A and B are shown apart, each in its own frame.
Chain A
Amino acid sequence: MNIDEIFDYTSFNIDREAHIVLDPAICVRCDQRACTNSCPARCYTWSEEEKKMTFVYDGCLECGTCYVVCRPGAFKLWRYPRGGFGVSFRMT
């Protein structure tokens, strides 16, 4: 399984509106960035050259990992997608 091909395995109805909004200033100061390895959908990637966290919510599995591992105040917004949007498990 290649996590970069998650859209081949799992269905999503991607919302235009983000359900999670990061405060990038917190990520720059964070000394662990546990989200980058713990997120099972690899939504978080840290660039050491640019000192920048990139977060893409398109393939978010809505598992809750970042909500628990990230620093207090790391999110300007953290909620579940609006009704009908987000991950759509067919069988699992």
Chain B
Amino acid sequence: MKKNFDAIVVGAGPAGSSAALTMAKAGLDVALLERGAFPGEKNMFGGVLHRLTALEEFFPDFWDQAPLERHIVKKGLTFMTGEATFNVNFDTQASDRTPYNGYTVHRPRFDRWLAEEAQKAGATLITRTTVDDVIREGGKITGVTTLRDGGALKAPIVIAADGVLSLTAEKAGLRRPKFDRSHMAIGVKALIEMPKETIDERFGLVRDQGASTEIVGCTEGVRGGAFLYTNYDALSLGLVLHLGSLADSGKTPYDLLNRFMAQPQMAKLLRGGRLLEYSAHLVPEGGYEMMPELVGDGIMVAGDAAAMCIVTGLNLEGINLAAQSGVLAGKAALEAHNSRDFTKSGLSIYRRMLEESFVLKDLKLYKRAPHMLHNDRIYTSYPELVCGIMDEIYRIDGNPKSTMTQLLMRAVKEKVGLKNALADVYSGWRSL
């Protein structure tokens, strides 16, 4: 097997394949390494594939080319208690027109497709290959060793796109060896088989329209929330739990997931469904605050490996940031090859391009959001407050009604306290 390349990309996920595609299209000789038997085999998410503006130059009709499930027209937010739900839905025809705003996908299919597009463009896709370490020469990273026959691959540029734990970035000394558990969340997911017609009727959808809902209040006090997305003929649902909070709670993710699926309103939506697959993965929710060094001598870090993740409670972005950072890392590699400068300063154009793009602008804009979300009241008191108020508004029990103001003040005082509520509104406003 060939051992020398212009660039090595570690990890054929959205960041890595976007980088490989960008470089291969421009004529670089690229190795795209993947530890799975095929790209996507190890990848799951509890998310929506947001519109990938970064890839639109390569795929002008992305929605006709990529293996997608449904495009999202309906976004929902649900406050949940043990026996009630309060839903806010936004359903718009604007999201029913191309370019679509987001999609549901099966990662083993989507990631495989994107990696194969990089391969078609000329990248050498090498699967079943786990990277073990980086090779250093004169202080510079000049390649990687793999767990496959002790193999070594050499290139003046390595792009670490190996996911949330990025052992490659760690070996290169770009991230701290120990993660802070408060920066991480664990996502667990169940894929539930359901006929397309049933999904369409239950969720009010037609054709390839899809719905995505975020749910809060369903985690028994563990910080986190749930998601429910419609695939073509399956539902994706699961929990995203802050790791520190979960660890301290003594509860297990699968018991919480089972009880969430058994909650009465959820159970109605899932009725008749069959579990197809269970999966789990960490999410780098800390975002900007936990970012590693993005550039070193001969190396750049992209996607989840660089903690490019935005969690606001309403949006959960990751793949769009990964694809954008991958494309920019690819462009920086092209620049570096033109100037023959593979040092940290030669590659620092990557950081500058990220600063000018939405990637670092948005990560900085929402850098307070993780702190705001480390507030236990969000996960129990507020869902109870909202559902409690709705219950009182609708309840007919022979007693005289309170005014809305009385109702609201009483509920706030009882559930969260007035001072806390004001502080939370302020903190939420500042973060978002």
Chain A residues within CB distance 8 Å of chain B: 1, 3, 6, 9-10, 13, 32, 34, 37-38, 40-42, 61-65, 67-69, 72, 79-84, 86-92
User: Looking at chain A's contact residues, is the secondary structure mostly helix, strand, loop, or mixed?
Assistant: loop
Residue B371 interfacial (CB < 8 Å)? no
Q: Which 3 A-B pairs have the closest CB atoms?
A: A83-B128, A34-B247, A84-B128
Given contacts A83-B148, A92-B107, contact A1 B165 (CB under 8 A): no
Question: What are the residues of chain B within 8 A of A65 when measuring CB–CB?
Answer: 186, 243, 280, 282
Question: What are the residues of chain A within 8 A of B42 when measuring CB–CB?
Answer: 62, 86-87, 89
Given contacts A42-B254, A83-B147, A89-B41, contact A9 B276 (CB under 8 A): yes
A40, A83, A92: the one contacting B130 at CB < 8 Å is: A83
A3, A38, A62, A87: the one contacting B246 at CB < 8 Å is: A38
B421 to chain A, nearest CB (A): 31
Establish whether residues A40 and B188, one from each chain, have CB atoms under 8 Å apart when the complex forms.
yes
17 A–B pairs (Cβ distance < 8 Å), ordered by A: A9-B276, A34-B248, A37-B250, A38-B186, A38-B253, A64-B164, A65-B243, A72-B178, A79-B132, A79-B147, A82-B130, A83-B36, A87-B41, A89-B40, A89-B277, A91-B108, A91-B277
B193 to chain A, nearest CB (A): 9
Residue B337 interfacial (CB < 8 Å)? no
Given contacts A68-B282, A89-B40, A89-B277, contact A1 B243 (CB under 8 A): no
Given contacts A40-B186, A79-B130, A91-B277, 12 further A-B contacts (CB under 8 A): A1-B261, A3-B254, A9-B277, A37-B246, A37-B249, A40-B188, A68-B179, A82-B130, A84-B35, A92-B43, A92-B108, A92-B277
Establish whether residues B277 and A90, one from each chain, have CB atoms under 8 Å apart when the complex forms.
yes
Within 8 A of A (CB), among B144-182: 146-148, 164-165, 167, 178-179, 181
